[in-house]
Structure 1
Amino acid sequence: MTTPGPSTDPIMDRITAAVGAHRVDGDPRHRDTLVDLWAEITAGGDPFHRCVLAHYLADMVDDPAQALMWDVRALDAADVLDDSRAQEHHVSLQVAAFYPSLHLNIADNLRRLGSFDAAADHLDTARARAGALADLGPEQSGYVEMMTTLIDDIGVMIRDRSSEARSTHPA
């Protein structure tokens, strides 16, 4: 058995550390760390870093308008990201599998803001792109089931015109 060597991606190490620490203690300083890191990466920086950072940062804010801003940034970054760059981080990553979650998060934020028609459009896109999740393999079956459940649950909330925060919302 070999011990993993030092990371070759210090930006991802910083993102992972801030997200992990926030999950443990909820301290808003970890959000600030990611916002500062976003400024370092810049809007023209590595799309994988931008996509991951913005996706996680959206989950760390309570305000749906702020979360929407970060989720749109994550989606924009995914649109210029390719599998080869994502697979530099982990060989199993496929950009197509990012889209259901990205569109679902945007749909949920739009729903929370009362923009139900736009939310329904993004939910339809999440549902249409969910087929890419089948390629993740059996080790990701829990994630696939969670995404399917969330698509259905948020669909009901959109249909019912509910702008209430979900009890399972990460923030």
Structure 2
Amino acid sequence: MTEQQEASEDAVMTRIGQAVILLHAGDREEARNRLGEIWAEIGAEGDSLHRCTLAHYMADAQDDPADELAWDLRALTAADGLRPGEEPGPAPGREAGQPPGRRPGPVAGRGGAGQGAGQGAGQTARPGPQQAVRVFYPSLHLSLAADYVKLRRPEAARVHLARARAATGALADDGYGNGVRAAIARLERRLATEPGEAPRPFPEQYP
């Protein structure tokens, strides 16, 4: 990759990070507008990491749970496009300690969960491509599980929560990884005691 290409990619991540700062400051409409502009520029065939990161944050900017689900599904699809051999750069992640409805997000090259929004954008630490892709999945599936809970679709929520749990082996034993695991456990407990539903075990994995 040339220096010009790296600078261009860093600029996209920086712009995403700036929109996320607005989102976390409470300016959801402006964050949506900025993320929407970047999404239009990236396009359907754009960089998978950019699309995954942007879609993941755009989900948090939605007021309608169905729209939130649609963006989280786009984030998962983009992550699936990060094939081994494609070198993903760092992406800003959602903090694990955010209020209900805000879930930990895909992160590459970040340690603790309490760092500010956008701090990951433009940084240089890069894990191996396969590990960087695998570490996305616990929080992506956790986000989808939370979306389905909001939409009162508990069976779909359990499917993605089980997939999130099965993918946690890729997480490091650090603030971010522990935050994701704790969020999965909280949602497991919530789903196990939903009113009108008998407690049930969670399958360890799905095909």
Q: Report the TM-score when normalising by structure 2.
A: 0.67
1:12 aligned partner, one-letter code: M
1:14 aligned partner, one-letter code: R
Cα distance in structure 1, aligned partners of 2:8 and 2:41? 18
Alignment of 1:4-153 (within 5 A): 7-9=7-9, 10-82=11-83, 84-87=86-89, 90-92=125-127, 94-134=132-172, 141-153=174-186
2:168 aligned partner, one-letter code: A
Q: CA deviation at 1:106?
A: 0.2
Cα distance in structure 2, aligned partners of 1:27 and 1:149? 26
- Provide, for residues 139-161 of structure 1, a one-character-per-residue CA deviation record: whole Å limited to 9, x for no partner: xx111111111001111222233
Cα distance in structure 2, aligned partners of 1:103 and 1:20? 23
Stretches of structure 2 lacking an aligned partner (at least 5 in a row): 1-5, 91-123, 196-207
Contact 2:22–2:30 (Cα < 8 Å) also in 1: no
Cα distance in structure 2, aligned partners of 1:148 and 1:60? 23
CA RMSD of aligned residues (A): 2.0
- Provide, for residues 99-125 of structure 1, a one-character-per-residue CA deviation record: whole Å limited to 9, x for no partner: 000000000000110110010000000
Cα distance in structure 1, aligned partners of 2:147 and 2:60? 11
Q: CA deviation at 1:8?
A: 4.2
Indicate the structure with greater helix content.
1
Contact 1:51–1:73 (Cα < 8 Å) also in 2: yes
Cα distance in structure 2, aligned partners of 1:47 and 1:97? 15
1:72 aligned partner, one-letter code: L
Equivalent position SS for 2:169: helix
Q: CA deviation at 1:12?
A: 1.1
Stretches of structure 1 lacking an aligned partner (at least 5 in a row): 1-5, 163-171
Cα distance in structure 1, aligned partners of 2:170 and 2:152? 29
Cα distance in structure 1, aligned partners of 2:44 and 2:58? 15
Q: Which moved more, 1:111-120 or 1:57-66?
A: 57-66
Q: Report the TM-score when normalising by structure 1.
A: 0.81
Equivalent position SS for 1:151: helix
Equivalent position SS for 1:85: coil
Count of aligned pairs = 152
Alignment of 1:154-169 (within 5 A): 154-161=187-194
Cα distance in structure 2, aligned partners of 1:63 and 1:157? 21
Following TM superposition, the consecutive aligned residue runs of length 4 or more in structure 1 with deviations greater than 6 angstroms are none
